[in-house]
Chain A
Amino acid sequence: MSTQLIQINTQAGKPVMAGNTKITPFSQSVRLMVPGKLIGLIYNRPVSLLATSPDGQEQVIAIPDVTRRIQFSLLGIAFAWMMLLIALKFILNRRD
């Protein structure tokens, strides 16, 4: 067992043949393990695909997590809104 607190790995999976195209999936895992303790957290997500055609052409296809992106965008909007109000309050207080 590794003693590192955080480990980030990108791994390639077993290739799958779709017709003549070879698809190799890639995933990224974040491991959080407390050294010396039996505590851990693992976050594993799909990252991309490598599609290799019979003529050797390679194409990397990213796997977007749309739900997560929208969630983070909303979080960003809320944060921007809060900063805007703080800035507005600061300006109004200075004017008074």
Chain B
Amino acid sequence: MAENIPTESESMEIAQGMTYFQETMDKFIGTADVSTVYARPVKQGETIIIPTAEVICGLGFGFGMGHGMGPQQGEGDKGATSQTEDEMVSGSGVGGGGGGYTFSRPVALIVATQDEVRVMPVIDRTKILLAAFTTVGFMVATLMRFTRGSR
């Protein structure tokens, strides 16, 4: 019986894939750097403005390989059982894939003048409104359930 040992070309493909994954992973790890959170300073006369943001980044990779044996093409009628291992053809495949997600949200603006350094927070009203509606909805729903249950 043939063993599931990858051929030379398969090993090359795996190595290439791994290198690619590693490079992408290194870039991903670079997200943890300070430069991703603080943008390049913008000069406006005497004032310097530095926008800041929070960054969330997720990444996942996976790959697999398979190896198998089967009847030769056009001889399927014979049935795999009637063929000896020498008559059968072997095949293999390597595949991989990955996915990622990056999210960034502005947090504050740093305004630096000659005299002072100020931090101006950026307030996301849409997010706050959504959270407020969800909270109120939850409170009303639980109150209704409570009053119904206590009757």
Contact = CB atoms under 8 A, between A and B. Distances in A.
Contact of B60 (A38, A59, A70, A81): A38
Contacts of A12: 34
Interface residues of A, number: 48
Interface of A: 1, 9, 11-14, 16, 18-21, 23, 25-27, 29, 31, 38-46, 49, 51, 59, 61-67, 70-71, 74-75, 77-78, 81-82, 85, 88-89, 92
Given A16-B48, A40-B28, 4 more contacts: A11-B34, A21-B112, A40-B60, A63-B52
Q: Chain B binding site: helix, strand, loop or mixed by DSSP? A: mixed
B132 A74 contact: yes
Contacts of A14: 34-35
Interface residues of B, number: 56
B60 A39 contact: yes
Nearest to A13: B34
Contacts of A46: 37-38, 52-54, 107-108
Contacts of B25: 1, 38, 40
Nearest to A11: B34
B11 interface: no
B79 interface: no
A20 B113 CA distance: 10
B117 A51 contact: yes
Nearest to A32: B58
Interface string B116-127: 010101111001
B57 A85 contact: no
Contact of B46 (A13, A19, A29): A19
